[in-house]
């Protein structure tokens, strides 16, 4: 039997899981001494989840009237990765001309977990203008590292690595080679959940995974504040709970892991209140130890954000407060504290939320951006989205003078940051009259603006947009042309539509002739697909919450006046049928269409 649970959360919830499979006793009763035997896949095993886990609890709970009333025990298991499918290759974002730098390679399975057959590979560099490349498997890191690379030409590098004569390969992030770099770029994940609520993994293990497989430069494990320090883990029998204080253990683990194999760790947690009280914000401390807001104000652990910000001042250590779209979206109308509200989490596994960030800017908050995970599995820094989420984790890019906690913290506080969605390590540089990103200059004393920007991506750059006061004032489209290869993408901005409930079917048809599918683009899930269907293309994807799914298609054999695009979202936004004029594609190289939902929607996060 195979069983896929498409629900986001089951009722009742069985700690530590938000989902479960139910076996209902329809006739008779179970009595003490009876046995219930569960055979998971027999001798060959079974595929249980898309991420590896050292301690998987196969838990049997007895429920009555929607509440757990007893537990029949756990079977402790280890979930391993699958067979090798790809290589994850990472190098520093900026290196000095002629200096030695490392190249790290992690063998992955199809779900981006560490491949179970990751040892004993023969790796070689097959492309990239570098010298060196003596790879060694490092036991502590559980992956391969070549520490002898050197680039002797300035410019942009991308290094291709191959395993076992083509068995698997991977391409590195873009690398800028500069003569004398003043700052370097580091990538981090600042939003990772744990077993204490609806996540997985314990503190130290998550940090280890983030460095070993996520290849993170800096990281923060951020449990929800109530299960961490007030109510205790979400484990209960009926209405009974076991309150506990886990903040000291998190501080101890974060301090212990700081500096391990070069990883910088930052102490923090997620402060989760409803939107009417200000929404979800992560709190970070620039110190090994600090009092939490729950300790500073134990009488009001769910205080509105404005009150929490005042309480946080009593901590007497450097702090940052970063809002995000999660279970409860942030509200931009609270009384702000500009000294700590320096950044906004603009992308995560939930989607991309630029509209919300613009609302915060319009309200007077001067926030730079990061992206993060809000990851609820053990896959810190490299999260496969699964049924609940729409894309891989994001990453925060920072410009820092070194990879130390003090300098990383200063870079975050100074907003020398940029956001990478989909776990892609792009490079971005932006200056206004010589002032780098995050800085402020006087418009009265600077009547003329000179802007310098540079970007290197992990794929072709499709669009640059320059915004002023939330409006696009300049745009570049380097990939637009009147050729015969068409990129088709679509999506909505209905925040927090889950992948499992956002799957929608669609098709693209020519009036006459045929289309030829080249390849899908931006598919995040194994259950999403784009297929050739006769003379046209059909698909089923979850392009929601500003995720953009699509494909490349050859239109050289298409006839008639238009391509016919159809997306069936009848139960939520509507049925959309659009004619894409071939003449405009040939003349201008693009076509764009947008429309409001065909039925009234009260969006909880947008105006």
Q: How confident is the model over 205-250, as pLDDT tens digits?
A: 999 999 999 999 999 999 999 999 998 886 666 677 778 899 999 9
Tokens of 413: 């506080």
Percentage of residues of the chain with pLDDT beyond 90: 70
Nearest CA-CA partner of 497 in 529, 539, 543:
543
* Mean pLDDT of the 39-68 span: 79
Q: Tell me whether residue 259 is in a domain.
A: yes
Closest to 335 measured CA to CA, from 359, 308, 354: 308
252 in Cβ contact with 304 (< 8 Å): no
Are 399 and 510 contained in the same domain?
A: no
Structure-block tokens of residue 141: 């890191």
**pLDDT at residue 576 in the model:** 94
Q: What is the mean pLDDT of residues 451-477?
A: 93
Q: Is the pLDDT of residue 46 over 80?
A: no
- Say what the pLDDT of residue 604 is: 45
Confidence category of residue 439, pLDDT binned at 50, 70, 90: very high
Same domain, 298 and 392: yes
**Is the model's pLDDT at 17 over the cut of 70?**
no
Residues 208 and 60 in one domain: no
Structural domain span for residue 448: 426-479
Same-domain pairing of 311 and 275: yes
Terminal Cα-to-Cα distance of the chain (whole angstroms):
46
Choice between 67 and 480, residue whose per-residue pLDDT is larger: 480
382 with 248, same domain? yes
Look at residue 308 and tell me if it is in a domain. Answer: yes
Residues 164 and 209 in one domain: no
Q: What's the pLDDT score for residue 175?
A: 98
How far apart are the C-alpha atoms of 355 and 346, rounded to whole Å? 9
213, 215, 221: which is closest to 257 by C-alpha?
221
In this structure, of 41-55, 252-266, 360-374, 553-567, the range with the lowest mean pLDDT score is 41-55
Identify the domain boundary among 46, 79, 112. 79
Tell me the two tokens of residue 330.
């942030």
Of the listed ranges 114-123, 138-147, 349-358, the least confidently predicted one is: 349-358
- The Cα–Cα gap between 403 and 264 comes to 7
Q: What is the average per-residue pLDDT within 321-341?
A: 89
- How far, in Å, CA of 19 to CA of 49, rounded? 12
Task: Number of helices (H) and strands (E) in the chain: give both, helices first.
Answer: 9, 38
**Number of domains the chain is built from:** 5
Q: How far apart are CA 256 and CA 292, in angstroms?
A: 19
Quick check: is 599 in a domain?
no
What span, in angstroms and rounded, lies between the C-alpha atoms of 40 and 478? Answer: 52
pLDDT value for 69: 79
The region of weakest confidence among 21-30, 209-218, 410-419 is 21-30
Average pLDDT on 369-389 reads 93
Would residue 596 count as lying in a domain?
A: no
Note whether 138 and 218 are same-domain residues.
no
- The answer as to whether 542 is a domain residue is yes
3-state helix, strand, coil in the chain (%, to 5): 15, 35, 50
User: What's the pLDDT at 2?
Assistant: 52
pLDDT at residue 328, as a whole number: 67
pLDDT for the residue numbered 235: 67
Q: How far, in Å, CA of 604 to CA of 155, rounded?
A: 46
Q: Are 516 and 446 in contact (CB under 8 A)?
A: no
Distance CA 42, CA 426 (A): 44
Within-domain flag for 494: yes
Answer whether residue 602 is part of any domain: no
Q: In this predicted structure, what is the pLDDT of residue 445?
A: 84
Q: Domain end: 479, 496, 520, which one? A: 479
- Considering the chain, what is the average pLDDT of its residues? 91
Q: Are residues 400 and 323 in the same domain?
A: yes
pTM across the whole model: 0.94
Same domain, 387 and 515: no
Q: Give the confidence band of 425 by pLDDT, cuts at 50, 70, 90.
A: very high
Do 139 and 227 belong to one domain?
no
398 in the same domain as 279: yes
Asked if residues 515 and 582 have their Cβ atoms less than 8 Å apart, the reply is no
The answer on 175 and 121 residing in a single domain is yes
**Radius of gyration of the chain, Cα coordinates, nearest whole angstrom:** 25
List the CATH number of the domain containing 105.
2.60.40.1080
Averaged pLDDT for residues 29-38: 82
Query: What is the structure's pLDDT at 605?
Result: 46
Q: Does some domain include residue 148? A: yes
| Residues 425 and 90: beta-carbon distance below 8 Å | yes
Average pLDDT value for residue range 178-202: 93
Rounded CA separation 346/196 (Å)? 25
Query: Which three-class secondary structure state does DSSP give residue 177?
Result: strand
**Which of 137, 160, 181 represents a domain boundary (last residue)?**
181
Question: Would you state the pLDDT for residue 140?
Answer: 98
Predicted confidence band at 582 (pLDDT cuts at 50, 70, 90)? very high
Q: Looking at per-residue confidence, does 537 or 79 come out higher?
A: 537
């Amino acid at each position: 039997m195979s069983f896929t649970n498409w629900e986001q959360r089951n009722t009742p919830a069985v700690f530590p899981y938000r989902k479960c499979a139910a076996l209902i006793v329809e006739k008779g009763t179970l009595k003490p001494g009876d046995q219930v035997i569960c055979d998971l896949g027999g001798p060959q095993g079974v595929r249980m989840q898309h991420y590896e886990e050292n301690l998987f609890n196969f838990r049997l709970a007895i429920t009555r009237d929607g509440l757990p009333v007893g537990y029949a025990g756990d079977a402790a298991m280890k979930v391993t990765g699958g067979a090798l499918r790809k290589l994850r290759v990472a190098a520093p974002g900026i290196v000095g001309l002629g200096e030695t730098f490392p190249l790290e390679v992690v063998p992955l399975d199809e779900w981006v977990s560490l491949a179970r057959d990751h040892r004993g590979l023969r790796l070689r560099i097959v492309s990239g203008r570098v010298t060196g490349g003596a790879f060694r498997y490092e036991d502590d890191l559980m992956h391969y590292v070549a520490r002898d690379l050197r680039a002797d030409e300035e410019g942009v590098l991308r290094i291709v690595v191959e395993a076992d004569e083509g068995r698997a390969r991977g391409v590195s992030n873009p690398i800028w080679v500069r003569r004398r770099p003043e700052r370097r770029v580091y990538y981090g994940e600042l939003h990772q959940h744990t077993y204490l609520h609806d996540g997985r993994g314990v503190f130290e293990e998550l940090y280890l995974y983030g460095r070993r497989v996520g290849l993170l430069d800096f990281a923060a494990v951020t449990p929800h504040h109530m299960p961490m320090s007030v109510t205790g883990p979400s484990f209960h029998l009926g209405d009974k709970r076991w309150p506990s204080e886990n903040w000291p253990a998190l501080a101890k683990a974060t301090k212990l892991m700081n500096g391990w194999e070069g990883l910088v760790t930052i102490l923090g947690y997620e402060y989760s209140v409803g939107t009417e009280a200000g929404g979800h914000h992560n709190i970070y401390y620039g110190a090994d130890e600090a009092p939490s807001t729950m300790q500073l104000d134990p009488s009001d652990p769910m205080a509105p954000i404005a009150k929490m910000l005042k309480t946080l001042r009593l901590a007497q250590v450097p702090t940052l407060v970063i809002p995000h779209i999660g279970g409860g979206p942030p509200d931009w109308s609270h009384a702000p504290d500009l000294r700590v509200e320096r950044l906004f989490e603009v992308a995560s596994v939930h989607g991309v939320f630029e509209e919300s960030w613009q609302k915060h800017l319009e309200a007077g908050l001067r926030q730079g951006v990061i992206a993060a995970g809000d990851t609820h599995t053990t896959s810190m820094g490299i999260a496969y989205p699964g049924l609940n989420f729409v894309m891989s984790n994001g990453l925060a890019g920072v410009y820092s003078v070194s990879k130390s906690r003090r300098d990383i913290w200063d870079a975050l506080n100074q907003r020398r940051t940029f956001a990478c969605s989909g776990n892609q390590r792009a490079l971005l540089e932006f200056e206004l009259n010589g002032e780098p990103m995050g800085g402020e200059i006087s418009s009265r004393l600077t009547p003329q603006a000179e802007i310098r920007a540079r970007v290197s991506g992990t794929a072709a750059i499709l669009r640059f947009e320059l915004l002023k006061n939330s409006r696009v004032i300049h745009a570049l489209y380097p990939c637009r042309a009147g050729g015969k290869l068409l990129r088709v993408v679509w999506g909505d901005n209905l925040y927090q539509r889950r992948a499992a409930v956002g799957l929608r079917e669609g098709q693209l048809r020519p009036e006459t002739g045929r289309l030829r599918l080249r390849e899908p683009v931006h598919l995040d899930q194994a259950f999403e697909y784009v297929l050739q269907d006769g003379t046209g293309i059909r698909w089923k994807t979850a392009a929601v919450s500003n995720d953009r799914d699509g494909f490349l298609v050859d239109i050289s054999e298409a006839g008639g006046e238009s391509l016919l695009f159809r997306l069936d979202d009848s139960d939520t936004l509507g049925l959309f049928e659009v004619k894409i004029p071939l003449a405009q594609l040939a003349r201008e190289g693009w076509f764009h269409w947008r429309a409001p939902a065909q039925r009234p929607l009260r969006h909880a996060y947008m105006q």
